[in-house]
A and B are shown apart, each in its own frame.
Chain A
C-alpha cells in the first residue's frame, strides 16, 4: 500500500479539539466533519486540500480527547496519510481502527515542508520526499496492526476473523 501527495504542515501537540472542535461533534457524518477539519488553526485547509494529500506534523499529534471524529474528519477531507514525529496513543489506535494510514518518523517530521510532494510505502515505512529528493525510514507497523490496516479497519478485521 502506498500514498502520494502534497504536504500540509503543522507543529507539535496538534490536539483533537483543533482537528475537529467539539462544537461540531453533534454529527458523526464524515462529510460534515471534513468541512470543519482543522478550522481553528488553519481555516483555509478545507479549501486547499486535494484528495491524496499528506499531513505532516511534529510530536504528540492528536493529543486530547478520544473523539474518533478527528481521524474520520482528516480521512474524509481527503488526506491519504499522516506523518508525525509521534502520535498521542488514542489517536494512534483510532487511526488504525478506522483505516487512516499513519507513520511515525522523526526525521521526516523534521525535514518535510509544506507543499513538498511525498510518497509513503506503508509496508516498509519508507518515505520519499520527491521535491527534496530525500528518503526517510519511518516505523513499520507490527504485523498484527498491518492486518487491521489491510482490512481497512478493526470492524472489517473482526468480520474476516
Chain B
C-alpha cells in the first residue's frame, strides 16, 4: 500500500521499508527542541534517568523565547536553569538573548531544519517546519527529556487529510487567511491525530513565509503535523540558510487519505477568527463594527519579514487610530535587523506603533501586551482561547498582518481595502 509523505519520513527514521496508519514505531530524531517554559521541566525529568548525558549536543536546540527578556524572578530562574544545562552539556544550538528569536522562526533561519528531517519540540507549534518538507511535531517535556537522552521517540503513525490548493490568492490574502479558512471548514479537531498534507499548483504562489504560517497552525486543527512538498522555493530557502544535506520525500501515487479537500485559493477572502476558538471564522466583508483596543503583529505564526512588509505597506504614511495600542514584534534578531534596514521599523514607529524585541510574550498573555477585562485585540497570533492574552473577559480576533494593520488605522476590524488600498 502506498505511503503519504509523512509516513515515508517516519518509515525512514524508524529503519522500516513500510509503515501504515495506526502502527506504533520508534524513530531516530534529527533535532530536539525546547524553550524556557518546557525545557526546565524536561531537564528535571532527564535528571531522573541513569544516563546523564545528551544523545548528541549538536541535535538539541534550546531557545529562551517565551517569558524573555525575563519577565519576573521565577522566569529568570527558569531561563537560568536552561542556560546552566546548555553550558554543562555544551549544547551547540543554545541561543541567548541578542542572537535568539521565536523558536519556530529561528530554527529554519539558522538552517537547523531541512527537508526530510524528523524533529520533535516541546512546543505545540513545532509543526511549523512542515513548510520545509520535514516531519515535525509538538510533544511535552517528558518526551523532550527522553529525546535528549536517547535520541528517540515513539509515535503512532498518522493517517492523513489531503488539501489540494489551486489558483492564485487575491491581493490581501496570505497564508494566514488560507489556514484560518481551512480551520473554519474542518474545525479545531478536524485533523486530530492526523497529518495535513498540502499539495496542488496553488502552492507555487505561496512564499516560504506563507507556508510557515500555514504549517504552524496545523495544530490548531488538532493535527499531528502539516507538510508541504519540496519545490524550487523550498530548495532556494534551504540553500540560503543551511549547509545540512536534505532528502526530498514524495507521497506515493496510491497513498490513502482519510479525506481530500480541494481549495481554490483565488476564492478565499481575508478571514478573521472570532473568540474563543480558531474555528469561529468570518470573512472580513461579513463583519459588523467591532471596535478594538490593541493590535498585535508578530509571533511564530506571523512575525517573519513578509508579514512585516505587508503590515508596513498598510501603515506607510498612516497613523494608528487614537487610543489603539499597536505592538509589533519581529520574530528573530535577523528579521528585526532586515526590517530596520528596509525602513519598516521607521514606518511602524512613525505610524504610532511600538516595536518589541523578539518574544512569545503577548501571544500567551505572558508579558508585553496583556489585556484588561473587556478589552479586544486583533492579533496575528494563533490562539484566541479564553484568557489567552490576559483577563478571562478579554477577546482575541485572529487575523492576517494586512487585516491587523488596517484595523490599527481604523480602530475596528477592517480590511486594507477600506483604506483604499
Contact = CB atoms under 8 A, between A and B. Distances in A.
Are both chains from one complex? yes
Contacts, number: 127
A145 to B, nearest CB: 8
Contact of B387 (A13, A18, A25, A28): A18
A98 interface: yes
A17 B386 contact: yes
A21 B365 contact: yes
Given A15-B385, A68-B140, A22 B364 contact: yes
A66 B138 contact: yes
Nearest to A94: B140
Nearest to A69: B41
Contact of B49 (A60, A72, A158): A158
B93 interface: no
Interface string A2-45: 00000000000101011001110111100000000000110000
A154 interface: yes
Interface residues of B, number: 51
Interface string B357-387: 0000000111000100000000000010111
A110 interface: no
Contacts of A69: 37, 41
A80 interface: no
B287 to A, nearest CB: 23
B36 to A, nearest CB: 9
Contacts of A27: 74
Interface stretch (A49-57, A83-91, A111-119, A124-132): A83-91
12 contacts: A13-B189, A25-B37, A41-B386, A60-B188, A66-B124, A69-B41, A97-B146, A98-B140, A144-B24, A155-B48, A155-B146, A158-B146
B70 to A, nearest CB: 10
A90 B383 contact: no
A159 B49 contact: yes
Given A63-B189, A66-B138, A159-B50, A40 B145 contact: no
B192 A17 contact: no
B365 A22 contact: yes
Interface in A133-161: 142, 144, 153-155, 158-159
